[in-house]
């Protein structure tokens, strides 16, 4: 990894859930652009330290910080610690997902425990994270939330009910935060990754992963491939750039065009 200091030199970022997968892709891409990055992790410290090592090997600045974003006190303390460690904060990325398999359940069977688990690591964590980070962010800062496009548009993937609805709420929260922080030129946006390799998708049972990827490769993604953590990191970096300062309160879908395909029409009529 080589560092391009022309973009984010002198800027400081905190990425939650950045030890691996999409979070790691985001951390690496921001570091490549010159930002110093705090790499949050929950349990997998070796993976977080590996992310830090990759950044440092390219000449970047990074450190790992442990916290459970579902616990408000831990999350708020982490944000303040990162600010104190860096001396400033410019970018806050809400990415940590929580225990995917723990809260997967259809809407008529989901328990309050599962629902609350999803809420605590999503709506609650985003609320606490932004409320804590906003006063510490420098003007023209960036807040990015990882979301899930089908959560606010579709309803077919029933086991993802708790997470999908919480992600939809986060997109709505971005609208309100964007207006509240606009006077300081801090932008707030959501990014919805599609099916991404080396991501939380890989935590599903292997037959489910294989079926999802095979379906995608049949033509339901017009680019003919899965996304990568680097793809999503690139989308985050783009929204964090100075050129994106006029974009706020938006939901950006980074899925290679998968959401453009029409499920009512056979693929034979949709292929170029």
d(CA 255, CA 189): 16
Instruction: Give the relative orientation of helices 123-133 and 161-181 as an angle to the nearest 10 degrees.
Output: 20
Active site residue 148: no
Q: For residue 236, give both structure tokens.
A: 């985050």
Q: For residue 173, give both structure tokens.
A: 């929260």
Active site residue 140: no
Interacting residues of 102 by C-beta distance below 8 A, sequence separation 6+: 114, 117
Q: What is the DSSP string of 29-44?
A: HHHHTT-EEEEEESS-
Question: Comparing C-alpha atoms, which of 239, 269, 268, 272 is closest to residue 253?
Answer: 239
Mapped onto helix, strand or coil, the DSSP state of residue 58 is coil
Question: At which residue do the structure tokens 């973009």 appear?
Answer: 7
134 to 12, 62, 144, 158: CA distances (angstroms): 14, 21, 12, 34
Catalytic hit among 56, 140, 148, 167: 167
How many residues are present in the chain? Answer: 272
Sign of CA dihedral 73, 74, 75, 79: positive
Q: For residue 75, give both structure tokens.
A: 């999350």
Catalytic hit among 140, 160, 176, 185: 160
Q: Which residues are catalytic?
A: 160, 167
């Amino acid at each position: 990894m080589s560092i391009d200091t022309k973009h984010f030199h002198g800027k400081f970022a905190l990425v939650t859930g950045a030890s691996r997968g999409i979070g790691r892709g985001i951390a690496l891409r921001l570091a490549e652009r010159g930002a110093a990055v705090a790499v949050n992790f929950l349990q997998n410290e070796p993976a977080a330290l590996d992310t830090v090592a990759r950044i440092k090997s390219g000449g970047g600045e990074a450190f790992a910080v442990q916290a459970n974003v579902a616990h408000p006190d831990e999350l708020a303390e982490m944000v303040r610690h990162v600010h104190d460690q860096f001396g400033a904060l410019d970018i806050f990325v809400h990415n940590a997902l929580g225990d995917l398999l723990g809260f997967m359940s259809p809407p008529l069977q989901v328990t309050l425990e599962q629902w609350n688990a999803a809420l605590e690591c999503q709506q609650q964590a985003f609320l606490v994270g932004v409320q804590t980070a906003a006063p510490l962010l420098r003007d023209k800062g960036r807040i990015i939330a990882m979301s899930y496009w089908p959560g606010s548009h579709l309803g077919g993937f029933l086991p993802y009910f708790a997470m999908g609805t919480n992600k939809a709420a986060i997109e709505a929260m971005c609208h309100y935060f964007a207006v509240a922080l606009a006077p300081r030129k801090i932008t707030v946006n959501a990014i919805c990754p599609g099916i991404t390799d080396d991501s939380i998708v890989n935590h599903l049972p292997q037959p489910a992963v294989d079926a999802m990827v095979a379906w995608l490769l049949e033509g339901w993604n017009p680019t003919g491939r899965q996304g990568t953590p680097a793809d999503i990191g690139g989308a985050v970096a783009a929204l964090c750039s100075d050129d994106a300062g006029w974009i706020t309160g938006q939901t950006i879908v980074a899925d290679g065009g998968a959401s453009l395909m029409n499920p009512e029409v056979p693929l034979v009529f949709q292929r170029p």
